[in-house]
Amino acid sequence: MRIIVSGGGTGGHIYPALATVQRLKALEPDTEVLYIGSERGLEGSIVPKAGFKFKSLKVQGFHRSLSLDNFKTIYLFLKATREAKKYLVAFKPDVVVGTGGYVSGPVLYAAQQMGIPTVIHEQNSVVGVTNKFLARKVTKVGVAFPAALPAFKANLATIVGNPRAQEVVDGQGSFDWEKLGLVPDKPSVLVFGGSQGAIKINASMVEALPNFADKPYQVIFVTGSKRFDDVQQEMRTKNIVPADNVAVVPYISNMPQLMPRVSLVVGRAGATSLAEQTALGKPMILIPSPYVTNDHQTKNARSLANAGAAEMITEESLSGTTLFGTIDQLMTDEKQRQLMAEAAMKMGVPDAADQFIALIKSVIK
């Protein structure tokens, strides 16, 4: 198979694409892959390090308000489409796959004009602008959340989950609890606000830290590398010393090894994180970011809360008191966590990469 994939800007678009082609290469080593990303996106550094051929296009997104810069956006889109056609002619793909982000627009639009089968993946409950545009002529759509299905024409979209989840489920290796000063045989809660950290989650956790002392569970508080020094300073200012059952760290590099071993996950409601946690059947406390497009994290979180897989705390109501109270209630109620885990597992797709690959193969002529 010869496949072009395109998705960029954020990890939420890049990692599902990489998970798909990495799994495809494992199943069919002769597969030829070309990744087309944007000049300024994270994919420019991530994809080549993963060992895939990479080409870039210059694109930018539309401003939601009236702006003369939108004329430049249109110009760049048309120019990128012409450039994408050159890559398509040279590579001769059997199929072109998009996982979102502005750059996938011209790539898949070019493929559609050339009669090449196209498949898009939508990671969120709310369909992104680019995928809405491409859906008019796309061959097939894979979605991670059932809530996204009504946005597409009947029989066009299929629930396949998020391919990134399969990497976590298949993750191998042990986790070194000693590095955290914790023990492996005690129930644990993981609190994190993403790789960069989340200011209000961090502030609420600092406020809550003294309450965790002597609890029958342990806490892993990941601040995000950018926020670690600020958290440490705030703890010093408030004379807070974490108890022996609490680890405060900037970052955990081997999260796929840790995630299966925790009893509760607290964090944002980004598509990739939710895919991983539902595939593993993890009870969740979700604090959706209000600063994302179309408030899609709130919709993601609500879909899990309605299914009984998560508790949701809005950023507006988040405080040390509400955060500690919700964590403590769940960490001292094993039966409730089990019910939430079962609900999460029903929403998860542990073989999502395989399901998405099957969908991709179904469109190849």
List, as residue ranges, the binding site for UDP-N-acetyl-alpha-D-glucosamine: 10-12, 124, 195, 252, 297
Cα–Cα distances (Å) from 292 to 269, 289, 295, 297, in that order, read 11, 6, 5, 7
- Reduced to 3 states, what is the DSSP secondary structure of residue 358? helix
Cite the annotated binding site by residue number: 10-12, 124, 195, 252, 297
Provide the H-helix boundaries in the chain: 11-27, 43-49, 69-91, 104-113, 129-134, 164-169, 199-208, 228-237, 255-258, 271-280, 296-306, 320-331, 334-347, 352-362
Three-state DSSP string of 217-246: CEEEEECCHHHHHHHHHHHHHCCCCCCCCE
How many angstroms separate the CA atoms of 279 and 63, rounded?
35
* Residue 267, number of CB atoms within 10 A of its CB: 22
